Amino acid sequence: MNIVVCVKQVPDTWAERTLRAEDSRLDRASVDGVINELDEYAIEEGLRLAEAHGGEVTVLSMGPEKASESIRKALSMGADKAVHLVDDQLAGSDALATSLALATVLGRIGFDLVILGSESTDARTGVLAAMLAERLGVPQLSLASKVETDGTAITIHRQTDYGYDRVEAALPALVSVVEKINEPRYPSFKGIMAAKKKPVETLSLADAGVDPGQVGLGAAATEVVSFAKRPPRQAGTIVKDEGDGGVKAAEFLAAQKFI
């Protein structure tokens, strides 16, 4: 089975993230980049499916030069090879443009199954999987907490508010995962050494056949009008429990008309 996992490098959520005053874009240079956490679950699921059914796992990432660190990490977890779409003209791409670029590359490299995280921690748009499925014309199975396939058909558990839905489709298909699905492995020493020799294909927009006029900040279908730091919340009332903490809390709730 030919599995492609889409991996995004994002700023570490522990760091303070800011927007640049010049162009309202995420200041990526000033913070450490890590693999978007949910994408580690996507990689793990890809590896498990390839181990069970045979086949290869390819990592696909669009992002600046720096994203190659995250690609190496994915390879050291056990992915076989990677494709890195990197081009300065991609800077400032919105979800629509990102999906166009990734779909074009996916169309070229081919796949039986594409796996994504259901959301990235920086953009948090959570729309990319749907956009890719729409562009590629393949079924989307989203919010997967469990994936089963026999190489022809695929069934997932789609997490819902009340439990889960069992969703079925035929391959090729696209799956997005939630963190409940598995426990991502840590790269082993052997894995880290092996990753250094694994092939990473670097593509420019021209290599990939993506029209530069349709991506990047200039082509973005959305724009930031203004941004500001959230004003700090007004300091609240903090009481120490002297045996009447619950009663005091209830008084507060009553004063605020919650009870």
Ligand X SMILES: Nc1ncnc2c1ncn2[C@@H]1O[C@H](COP(=O)(O)O)[C@@H](O)[C@H]1O
Ligand Y SMILES: Cc1cc2nc3c(=O)[nH]c(=O)nc-3n(C[C@H](O)[C@H](O)[C@H](O)COP(=O)(O)OP(=O)(O)OC[C@H]3O[C@@H](n4cnc5c(N)ncnc54)[C@H](O)[C@@H]3O)c2cc1C
Interacting residue ranges for ligand Y, rule: CB under 6 A: 13, 37, 121
Binding-site partner at residue 134 among ligand X, ligand Y, other proteins, none, CB < 5 to 8 Å by type: other proteins
Instruction: Give the binding range for ligand X (CB under 6 A) out of 33-41, 48-56, 209-217, 225-233.
Output: 33-41
Give the span between the Cα atoms of 10 and 202, in whole angstroms: 19
- For residue 166, the minimal CB distance to other proteins (Å) is 4
Separation of alpha carbons 9 and 117, rounded Å: 12
Q: Please state, in angstroms and rounded to a whole number, the distance separating the CA atoms of residues 120 and 27.
A: 16
Among 38, 103, 178, 215, binds ligand X (CB under 6 A): 38
The dihedral sign for the CA sequence 56, 57, 62, 64: negative
Gap between the Cα atoms of 64 and 257, Å rounded: 51
Q: Among other proteins, ligand Y, ligand X, none, what does residue 54 contact (CB within 5–8 Å per kind)?
A: none
Residue 117 lies near ligand X (rule: CB under 6 A)? yes
Closest CB 245 distance from ligand X, rounded Å:
40
According to CB under 6 A, which one of 11, 63, 78, 216 is a site residue for ligand X?
63
Comparing CB distances to ligand X, the nearer of 50 and 102 is 102
Q: How far is CA 200 from the centre of its chain?
A: 20
From 26, 30, 91, select the one nearest 227 (Cα to Cα). Answer: 26
Minimal distance in Å, beta carbon 54 to ligand X?
23
Judged by the rule CB under 6 A, the positions of this chain that interact with ligand X are 6-8, 36, 38-39, 42, 60-63, 98, 102, 116-117, 119-120, 123-128
